[in-house]
Amino acid sequence: MSGNGVCSTAVLPAAGINGAATHKEERSETPIQLEQRGRLPLPTATALARAPSPSPRSTNWDENAEYAAGVIFGCTNSTFGECFELALVGLPGKYLPLVESIAKDKTLIFIFNFSDRLLHGVYRATSDGRENMSLSAWTGSSPCAKLAARVKDELPLALELEDEASAEDGSPFPAQCSFDILEEFAPLPESEVKHVLEYTERQRFKFKLSHWQCRDIVDAFVQQEARARLRKLLKVMAID
């Protein structure tokens, strides 16, 4: 009997007789089990990049996954600002099946600006991908869109997504997903991830990413940041 009058005999045998086994079982729980119990935080993008990559031959993870590991959304100078203003990304309607494979809190999101061909990240989906979350997104009604409409340095190649879009009814990019910043890095030049992306034609690549592509892209972000910090440090120390 405990001090407050509640019998504790149901707890004592487990602690006194099988206590060691119980603790051992706790220690042997997998990271997934610990995460499900709220005892293991989600990894940061930096930790993900530093973790060792399992061999692709050892699992069919990507082939059997029920959701996309990562998705690249395209934008131009005229739509980039509005993505962050709305915390929303979108693609033309023909990409809806791809966007619908996005899972909240699981899929990584990257944004590729076709105007300057820079990749931005690392972001995480905060909703499942679906159609027309915002009918007014990228229709030219937001302050960012009105300001960007005056920008004159758009290249024809940077407008390829706009060419595929249709604004007849609602947003020209109805395949949408909300996102937040997982870890913000300086944007990556396309040349730094060209070996990771799967190109098709006309300097275009597939927007869906495997787990291994996501890992390699995050690693590229981390490595670029490390090189920049090293250059800054060497400059301060007057070594370079």
Chain segment 52-97, per-residue pLDDT in tens: 444 333 334 455 567 899 999 999 999 999 999 999 999 999 999 9
Decide if 92 is inside a domain: yes
Residue 42 lies in a domain: no
Instruction: Say which residue the tokens 């996954």 belong to.
Output: 65
In a domain? residue 5 = no
The verdict on residue 4 lying in a domain is no
Q: Is residue 93 part of a domain?
A: yes
Q: Which domain holds residue 199?
A: 64-235
The answer to whether the beta carbons of residues 220 and 192 sit under 8 Å apart is: yes
Count of structural domains, the chain: 1
Tell me the range of 7-21, 33-47, 169-183 where mean pLDDT is highest. Answer: 169-183
- Please give the radius of gyration of the chain, using alpha carbons only, rounded to the nearest integer: 24
CB atoms under 10 Å from CB of 173, counted, come to 30
Is 180 a domain residue?
yes
| Inside any domain, residue 13 | no
Please state, rounded to an integer, the average pLDDT across all residues of the chain: 75
Residues 212, 62, 208: CA angle, nearest 5 degrees: 70
Structure tokens at 169: 């009814």
The residue ranking higher by pLDDT, 24 or 103, is 103
Supply the pLDDT for residue 100: 95
Q: Is residue 9 part of a domain?
A: no
**CATH code, domain with 172:** 3.10.590.10
- Burial classification of residue 31, based on how many CB atoms lie within 10 Å of its CB (0-12 exposed, 13-18 middle, 19 or more buried): exposed
